[in-house]
Amino acid sequence: MSIRTILLGSAAVMALSLPATAQNFNRIASFPTVGNMADGAETSRPTSAEIIDATEDGMTLVYTDSPLGVLGMVDISDPANPAPLGNIDMQGEPTSVKVIGSTAYVGVNTSKSFTDPSGELRVISIPEGEELASCDLGGQPDAVATAPDGSFISVAIENERDEDLDDGEIPQMPAGNLVMIDVTDNGLDCESLRTVDLTGLADVAPSDPEPEYVDINTEGETVVTLQENNHLVVVSREGEVLADFSAGAVDLEGIDATEDGKLAFDESQEGRKREPDAVAWIDETHFAIANEGDYEGGSRGWTIFSQEGEVVYESGTSFEEAIIRIGHYPEGRSDAKGVEPESVTFGKYDGTPLVFVGSERASVVGVYDVTDPASPQLTQLLPSGIGPEGYVTIPSRGLLVSANEEDFVEDGGARAHVMLFEYQQGGAVYPHLTSAGMDELTGWGAISGMVADEDGTIYAVNDSYYSAQPTIFAIDPSHSPARITRAIRVTRDGEPAQHMDMEGIALDGAGGFWVANEGDAEDGIPHALYHVGADGSIQDEVPFPSGLSDVARRHAAEGIARVGDTLWIAIQRAWDDDPENMSKLISYNTESGAWGAVHYEKAAAETGWIGLSEIAYHDGAFFVVERDNQIGEAARVKKIYRIDEEDMQPAPLGEQLKVVEKEEVRDLIPDLTATGGFVLDKVEGLAIQPDGTAWVSTDNDGVDDHSGETMFFSIDRL
């Protein structure tokens, strides 16, 4: 077998066509928190980036890493190339961090139990990595905030509840409170510590306030969220309660409130408590809250309040709907709190006041212009790592940074990351694909196989993640971002087709489609081909013959291409009768019903496995996507190979199979890192338009243990 490399040009620009004066945030780099571990350390341990801040000069980031019990540091003097500065052991669980100048103030939980909470506020010199001072806080700290003038610090003492006791119901003593401490030249004046009693304020469990988050405005007023109590409190510099009021509730219409394998936004919830998590002042008299929710609430949006308790703006379902349209909606959280906005941050960039709303479950950051607090304008949605927890704005350098806490190393998934975004002249790079503009609110995700029509339309299928809603999407790639224009539901006898795991799609030449179904005996999903009409109705099912099904494994059909009367199906990995590192390319003649196959030799995997994930045909050649199952820096193989049509000579099943020759035409790893993110695992879609322009897409796993990010981009003509 011969392999040669064909050099192709760079990826096509995916930016929006905006006026030259437009400014947008675009991601420029990602830093895996595992990179801060010392040489020789066990890197298979989970790490995290939760709450994050920056030094006054904007050159160094510090973040809390609860799993490791450390404060991580990152050099961003060159923001496009963040560099590790190592970890500082906190001798406890760091819960929050704020920086004044080059000094970090870290809340550390040292509690022995829920009933015996304790914690400290520790002062760390960032340049030296040394502890300068510490104060006993008298309880378990959650959020830390610094006054804009650097004169004092407020700490939310949560004394969190035991979620296994009485199903997590409150009250559970001891009660939480707010602590305020003055800052000195040496770090802290522990003698100045004053405790603000927050009991007796909330309608929900007034004896047990559980402060969650704090922020301080330029007048020295601290706003505190009591998430479980669904309450908000404003406290003066001297510790006097100036105002307190319920966070209230929202009536939600047009949501998906059921986890059922489909995206249907036709349900409602009345009186859904906001139960806010993060809070941020946007001026001296208004603040924004992220309504993540707890046991009884979560309104899926965010709100702006006046400090007297007036609702100035309520996003309702609009934030979630915007996320739905870009394919980040987490169907697995439909019966809980949907996209769960958890964080909210404020910054002023080039004179424009902006609020950044982070969705924990959708892994998206919404950017809102709040020039008019009563009418914020959503300007962008940015892709984050998994589970964004904290943000820091660095307007002086035009940077926004997100800390993303989820680390799936134990499951072979993505690591926790810090991501950097730059405020740039020009268009927004993300999203790459949207359903905006459709008459009906249309969610999508888990894009798998693709095919291009003569008019340039691309058709794509979703996979078994949406088991109750198998769908063929029509995509117009001439726009930026590309637009989903139709959702063709695949049906059987008028009902959503069951037992479907659509992994490949081809045109039938008569307005309909051929779909390759990846089988799974345990779930009752057959290895089969389906002939689907233009309206999505299944016309015919062609099961794999015994010569294939008897040797088949779970990792099966991953793409399909049609040439005349012959369909070619790419099988992901070796079956029982295949030699090592060999996969089958299976042929099926739609006229004669004859089956055959050739062998395709894959690269040997350094870690995990390597398989095929797509096949396409264009101008006398087949193009195959070969990939490993690795993510981020561990990824090695994400490539497109070419096979001459003349070499695809199938032998009858059961006979010796020819091994085809392949030519490498593109290494996709540079494309997958071109937007500043980590390398996504599943390159699963390839469609080639009549002029040879190839389009590539990634599968976002239905936003299940995934950032939800879908890359959909064109490469030079093949």
Predicted TM-score (pTM) of the model is 0.96
- CA 189 to CA 78: how far, in whole Å? 35
- Per DSSP bridges, beta strands 528-532 and 538-543 are antiparallel
Angle at 452 between CA 450 and CA 457, to 5 degrees: 110
- Per DSSP bridges, beta strands 482-489 and 433-434 are parallel
Contacts of 391 (CB under 8 A, 6+ apart): 52, 343, 345, 356, 358, 365, 400, 401, 402, 403
Q: Are 631 and 414 in contact (CB under 8 A)?
A: yes
Give the phi and the psi of residue 634 in degrees, each rounded to 5. -80, -15
Query: One-letter amino acid identity for 435?
Result: S
Chain centroid, CA 94 distance in Å: 24
DSSP state of 509: S
Query: What's the pLDDT score for residue 521?
Result: 83
Q: Are 362 and 330 in contact (CB under 8 A)?
A: yes
Residue ranges of E strands in 39-196: 52-54, 60-65, 70-75, 83-89, 93-100, 103-109, 119-125, 130-136, 141-146, 152-157, 177-184, 187-196
3-class DSSP assignment, residue 74: strand
- The 10 Å Cβ neighbour count of residue 21 is 7
Candidates 395, 385, 390, 388; CA nearest to 352 is 395
Residue located via tokens 């309702």 = 316
DSSP string, 459-494: EEEE-GGGTT--EEEEEETTSSSEEEEEEEE-EETT
Query: What's the pLDDT score for residue 701?
Result: 97
Mean pLDDT in each 10-residue stretch from start to end of the chain (718 residues)?
33 36 92 96 96 98 98 98 98 98 98 97 97 97 98 98 93 98 93 98 98 98 98 98 98 98 98 98 98 96 98 98 98 97 98 98 98 98 97 98 96 95 97 98 98 98 97 97 98 96 98 96 92 98 95 95 98 96 98 98 96 98 98 96 98 96 98 97 97 97 97 89
- CA 698 to CA 685: how far, in whole Å? 6
Query: One-letter amino acid identity for 41?
Result: A
Query: What's the pLDDT score for residue 185?
Result: 86
